[in-house]
Structure formats: structure tokens, C-alpha cells
Amino acid sequence: MKKVLEFLSELQINNHRPWFEAHKADYRIAEATFNAFVERLIPSIAAFDASVAGVTLKDCTYRIYRDTRFSPDKTPYKTHMGAYVCTGGKKSGYAGYYFHIEPRGEGLFGGSLLAAGLYMPDAKIVKHVRDDIFDHGDAFFKAISEARGFVFDRSRDLKKTPREFPADHKYADYLRMREYSLIEPVDEKTLLRPDLLDWCLNEFRKVMPINHVLNRSVKFACEEE
């Protein structure tokens, strides 16, 4: 991943079209390096989680070009590369496995990471997740406990338990969540490990149980449509 990190680090400093066009060959090398890794990552995850079997590179990866139409930030390029491996691909709404490379700085997440769960899910999905926690909180908690090394992003939590649930519920803390995204930061030393793929797979196995629990709610929400 050295070529990927080197290119993205330079892009952070030179995020404008003239520089990007002059370094298009470097981008193609970085893109090919990242895509080659993802093409190994997808079937390797499917080997222990059959729900992602059949998704392709295109289903899981994103364009580097930013949509600046509705953003005050008019820089034209993303300074990260990411791949989201999940049932039906990145636009499906299902919980999955996210691999993100980003040099330290003022980017999307401020650094590289692995992630799982549901990032900014629709309100109808959140409702089903909360109902599931209310009815089967112990199973939800057990799945979280297996995700060692990952932590929930609690930045968007409600201040109070939703009024349709008792404030003294055993798992009221999880009922206040508005998204169910788990994150594990990844440092540069880890990204440059020769066994990076094996390391990622070992970490992603830990979040398979919580992904499956969350996807039960996603499936219910989809069936209601």
C-alpha cells in the first residue's frame, strides 16, 4: 500500500485539477494497487461470510472524483480510497466490511481504518434495529462483545432514550444510537505489513456477528417497502 499512501499524501497537499492531471499515471498505479488488494479481499471475506458472495470490485469501490455541487468544500478529489464489501454492494443499505486508506490529516475520517455495521442508515432501518435491541438486547450485546478492537461511533447519539422505549431499559444506551457504525483505526505501519490481507480478515471476522444481527433489521425494513 506504499504507492497508495504516497499518492494520497501528495493529493492532500495538491488537491486541484492541474496537479492531478500531471500525476495521472501515479494515480493509475495507486488505483491499480488498491483494486488488486480489494479483488483479493472480497472472495476472502466471502469465504467466511457467504452473504457477500458474488459482489464485484465495481460493487464495492468508489470514484475518486468528489461531487462538489452541494458542498462548501470545492476540492475536486477525495483524499482517501475505500471499499465496502456487503450484501448487494455499497448502495444496498446492508451492514458490511469497510476498508479505508487515508493519510493522517483533515480528510473524511482523519486516517485509515476498518469499519463495519451501519453508517448513517435510513430512519426506518434505525427503527427496526432499536426494536430488535429492545426485544433481543442480549444477543445484540453478545455480538458487540465479539468485535474486539472496534468501537461504535457515538457522535450522533440522541441525548435521551426515544420516548417509545422505557428510559430504564437494560440496553437504553444502544437505543439512543442513530447509527450503528463500528470503527477500528489502522496505522501506517499496519498498512505496510506484508500480511495486511490476513490481518484485515482476522479483524473482520470479529464483526461478522454484529453485521448479521444488524442485517436482520435491514432485511425487515426492505421487506416493508
What whole-number distance in Å separates Cα of residue 122 and Cα of residue 171? Answer: 21
What whole-number distance in Å separates Cα of residue 188 and Cα of residue 111? Answer: 9
The pLDDT score that the predictor gives to residue 70 is 81
Average pLDDT estimate for 99-106: 86
Contact 128, 119 (CB under 8 A): no
Residue 104 has pLDDT above 60, yes or no: yes
| 128 vs 69, residue with greater confidence | 128
The two counts, helices (H) then strands (E), for the chain are 8, 5
Domain residue ranges of the chain, discontinuous segments joined by +? 2-224
Contact 211, 117 (CB under 8 A): yes
For 2-224, CATH number out of 3.30.70, 3.30.930, 1.10.10, 2.60.40 equals 3.30.930
Render pLDDT for 2-34 as a digit per residue (tens, 0 to 9).
Answer: 999 999 999 999 999 999 999 999 999 999 999
Where do we find the cell 429492545? 134
The pLDDT score that the predictor gives to residue 72 is 85
The pLDDT score that the predictor gives to residue 110 is 75
The DSSP secondary structure of 91-128, one letter per residue, reads TS---EEEEEE--SSSSSSSS-EEEEEESS--HHHHHH
Where do we find the cell 480478515? 201
Where do we find the cell 458474488? 54
- Angstrom CA distances, 202 to 7, 13, 26, 116, stand at 27, 34, 31, 13
Render pLDDT for 110-147 as a digit per residue (tens, 0 to 9).
Answer: 799 999 999 999 999 999 999 999 999 999 999 999 99
